[in-house]
Amino acid sequence: METVVYRARRILTMNPARPEVGHVAVRAGRIVAAGDAHETGVGRDGVRLDERFAGHVLLPGFVEGHAHAMEGVLWRHPYCGGFERTDPAGRRWPGARTRAQVVERLREAEAGLADPGAPLLGWGLDPLHVDGARLSRHDLDAVSRTRPVAVLHASLHIVNANTAALERAGLLRAGVDHPGIPLGDDGLPAGELRGPDAYTPLLTLIGVGRDALAGDADGLRAYGRLAVRTGVTTATDLVNAMSDTDLATMLAVTGEPAFPLRLVPAIRGNGRPVEDLIALAARVRERSTDALRLGAIKLVADGSIQGFTARLREPGYHDGSPQGLWYLAPEWMQGVYDAAMREGLQVHTHTNGDQATELAIDCTERALRRHPWPEHRFVLQHCQLADRAQLRRMARLGLCANFFSNHHFYWGDSHHARTVGPERAERMNPCRSAGELGVPWTIHSDAPVTPLGPLHVAWCAVNRLTASGRRLGEHERIPVADALHAITLGAAFTLKLDGELGSIECGKRADFAVLEDDPLAVPPERL
């Protein structure tokens, strides 16, 4: 079997014993050596030198530890976000920064629908980026008064709907009493549905439910195209229904020779009986392949900070907004943690607010007393407002953190002024503190919430700049080298894949990201 040696201008390995080499030898998809020409066998029989990357810089393939395959599906629907994005075909979509621009984009999409009764779904909306005002059903009635219209927020935690959609879902009536369904002055739902408990029935009834967006075969292929363009070779799908159909589709698509991505889905836990969830995770774990890693569980404890649905400890939201929402019962979450520890199953838990983080830490501590498991590597996803006291507890308990560093750019100005105020905004996503206190950590995009792109995620953690140019938390900035470790070996560790990938060294998978520029040589602001 032939060995191919790739020569590059510079190869950054993430292996502290050999942090930089010039050649890497690959055989049958595995790295057999990383070093100089002699060490990798150049000139020997059965060894072929490949110089296609001689002018480039190689890193381990980037690992996206928190994203969603629906990134590949949502592009079938009009993008309504406030920042420019690029779709799987390479088309750039300008941001929609006013309500009028959002409505006009939806009108253009509505005009192209042949079926007058078919629903229209937009996505990517965030009121903080659109005139700073929340949309009502009357705003979306300007798109259509007869066709159901719904717009999924960028956070994936809120939906706006027009009158026709609310009527089809049976919600346009007096007497609706739900914490996630605010009412207008007329006593009827205003058109904003906060949290999956509120919006999932509506999306399902109008035919665009979350399961329909989760990732069919073409959606998974589109997700792979988006990933490979940004150097991502391993990515999660961190809320997967894991039906028999979903599993069969993922096995088929990831088994295609041209599919460029190793996929790590996590089963959607919320709403399932504990033992059913655990049994499903244990059963599908046995179906794992090289390209599809199964068995992890995802819980969602609270909502989003920018949507004012995250659970915050006192003093709550800086602008006085009401407390956020719990998406699960604490006793149910404890049951999942206990059972997962018992059965050796990893759990990822969405905790945006620090009150949700506190709950997850408490549940972990109790579960470990009952079922000690030093290698559990439960991950708190987002974990944006964890303070140093919480980070110390996380380190002692073996919890990992996956910080949402992109928030500094996309929502940092709003966090500083409105959601959590200057002091807490400056310590959000505390990468430096986590490292100092011994918490294994990484950073992520949460695509489609923000664009898939690990170098941009790293840029956000290194520079902590908002869209207006404000430096948000100088003391939590990290060096470029630490950020590169986070999007390679750091993310692999949180997925329990660090023994296979995340660094360029003998025995590991031959997954590479190929860069034009050297990320350690360019100024940090150009990362």
What confidence category does residue 466 fall into, taking pLDDT thresholds of 50, 70 and 90?
A: very high
Strand intervals (E) in 13-116: 20-27, 30-35, 47-50, 57-60, 62-64, 85-86, 92-93
**pTM exceeding the 0.85 threshold for the entire prediction:** yes
DSSP-assigned states of every residue in 34-47: EESTTTTTTTSTTE
The answer to whether residue 207 scores a pLDDT higher than 90 is no
Q: What pLDDT score was predicted for residue 357?
A: 98
In whole angstroms, what is the distance from residue 238 CA to residue 91 CA? 26
In whole angstroms, what is the distance from residue 512 CA to residue 527 CA? 18
Token pair in block for residue 358: 């506190």
In whole angstroms, what is the distance from residue 402 CA to residue 490 CA? 9
Q: Side chain identity at 63, as an amino acid letter?
A: V
Segment 319-334, tens digit of pLDDT: 999 999 999 999 999 9
Average pLDDT, the chain: 96
Verify cis geometry, omega within 30 degrees of 0, for the bond prior to 88.
no
| Strands of the 296-300 sheet, one edge to the other | 62-64, 232-240, 262-268, 296-300, 347-351, 379-382, 400-403, 441-443
The answer to whether residue 208 scores a pLDDT higher than 90 is no
Sign of the CA dihedral running 499, 501, 502, 505: positive
Q: Are 346 and 340 in contact (CB under 8 A)?
A: yes
Q: What pLDDT score was predicted for residue 253?
A: 98
Angle at 25 between CA 23 and CA 31, to 5 degrees: 120
Query: Which string of b and e fits 226-236 if b means at least 16 CB within 10 Å?
Result: bbbebbbbbbb
R_g of the chain, CA atoms, integer Å? 23
Segment 343-378, tens digit of pLDDT: 999 999 999 999 999 999 999 999 999 999 999 999
